Amino acid sequence: MKVLVIGAAGMIGRKLLDQVAKTPEILGAPVQALTLVDVIEPTAPAALAGIATCQAVDLSTAGAAEALISDRPDLIFNFAAVVSGEAEADFDKGYRVNLDGGRALLEAIRAEGLTAPYRPRLIFASSVAVFGAPFPEKIGDEFFTTPLTSYGTQKAIIELLIADYSRRGILDGLSIRLPTICVRPGKPNAAASGFFSNIIREPLVGLPAVLPVDDSVRHWFASPRAAVGFFTHAATLDLDQVGPRRSLMMPGLSATVAEQIAALEEVAGPEAVALIRREPDPVIQGIVAGWPCDFDPKRAVELGFTAETNFADIIRIHVEDELNGKIGG
């Protein structure tokens, strides 16, 4: 099987590849060739280096998608995106990368299929940002998409295109609507949701963190470990079970910032909580206010997708996976 990972240098892409390196059969068939691309050249895990080709590619540039599809990958993961806060701040860049790049990929697949039969599986990283207020107490699978950000709009458009291209037999696609992934390793990024990770990640290593919203803000979370599980499960799922609605809200847990902080104290003690500094940011508050905060992802659960149910467990996963089990500076 040939596998193409777009956005392979990002957090989920890297962790997915690490899992494939540890458990080669996790994608359902032996991986014979692996193409890894991102705007900066990604690095393959050592165990996969012999079958991997790594390239620096901007999917939205002319001819980039066609070149990637010319090798006819059987399985494609598309993680590439300008994140929420940046997409809101830079309108042109957000639409170029998140919409034009995604559409170029779909069209390259369609063009390749016109030369000879070709129908790859495409797994797309979408987001809860496809939903917009006002919300019911819990958002079910039938709730409509009315995004209130450019990022959410871009994700929703690609979701619709994937469903239509799948309906027409051009590809076999699935859009994975991710919760906010927390705790994200590394440094803060431009995502408006970044503070949800910052207020946990930095205090765990003895560093201060800024909280720009009120403690009562509620959101929908899953760990990076769960996120990798979503994509590996999607790679092997019988998509006939999914039917024509090719977008699935992933399971997760709903928690307030106050509950996050309480879980941090449970895992790391009051000295970690004392490192959180409250600095209200009206821009971030406005963006977050339009996001959904609780779901009933019945379809995904019935299809076998799983995630954490306790925020302290999410923190413990971060400590185990990123800090070698150690807390403190």
CA 138 to chain centroid, in Å, comes to 21
d(CA 245, CA 117): 24
Instruction: Count Cα atoms within 13 angstroms, Cβ side, for 263.
Output: 24
178, 163 Cβ separation under 8 angstroms: no
Band of pLDDT at residue 188, cut at 50, 70 and 90: confident
pLDDT digit string (tens) for 118-146?
999 999 999 999 999 899 999 999 999 99
Strand partners, 295: 139
Residue 217 has pLDDT above 70, yes or no: yes
Rounded CA-CA distance 167/243 in Å is 9
- The pair of structure tokens assigned to 110 is 């369609």
Check if the beta carbon of residue 77 is closer than 8 Å to that of residue 231. Answer: yes
According to the model, what pLDDT value does residue 329 have?
Answer: 66
The predicted pLDDT at position 85 comes to 82
Q: What's the angle, vertex CA 67, arms to CA 61 and CA 70, rounded to 5?
A: 150
Residues in CB range of 281: below 8 A, 6 or more apart: 212, 213
- Is-contact 5 48, C-beta < 8 A? no
pLDDT confidence tier of residue 175, bands split at 50, 70 and 90: very high
Q: How far apart are CA 273 and CA 173, in angstroms?
A: 42
Average pLDDT over residues 182-203: 89
The edge-to-edge listing of strands for the beta sheet with 247-249 is 52-56, 33-38, 2-6, 75-78, 121-127, 172-178, 247-249
> Residues 267-303: pLDDT tens digits?
999 999 999 999 999 989 988 887 889 999 999 999 9
Cα distance between residue 326 and residue 10, in whole Å: 24
pLDDT band at residue 178 under the 50/70/90 scheme: very high
How many whole angstroms separate alpha carbon 227 and alpha carbon 68?
25
285/133 Cα distance (integer angstroms): 14
Q: Looking at the domain that runs over 2-179+223-249, which CATH code has it been given?
A: 3.40.50.720
Residue 151 among the catalytic residues = yes
Strand pairing of 180-181 and 75-78? unpaired
Give the DSSP per-residue string, 81-126: ---HHHHHH-HHHHIIIIIIIHHHHHHHHHHHHHHS----EEEEEE
Check residue 133 and give its pLDDT.
87
Identify the three-state secondary structure at position 227. Answer: helix
Q: Tell me, what's the pLDDT at 238?
A: 96
Please tell me which residue in 95, 118, 151, 165 is annotated as part of the active site: 151
* pLDDT higher than threshold 70 for residue 83: yes
Dihedral of the alpha carbons of 227, 234, 96, 35, in degrees to the nearest 10: 90
Alpha-carbon gap, residue 100 to 157, rounded angstroms: 10
Query: What is the chain's length?
Result: 329
Q: In the predicted model, what is the mean pLDDT of the chain?
A: 95
User: Could you report the per-residue pLDDT of 22-77, keeping only the tens digit for each?
Assistant: 998 999 999 999 999 999 999 999 999 999 999 999 999 999 999 999 999 999 99
Element of type H or E holding 218: strand 218-222
How do residues 104-118 score in pLDDT, each as one tens digit?
Answer: 999 999 999 999 999
Question: Model confidence over 225-273: pLDDT tens digits?
Answer: 999 999 999 999 999 999 999 999 999 999 999 999 999 999 999 999 9
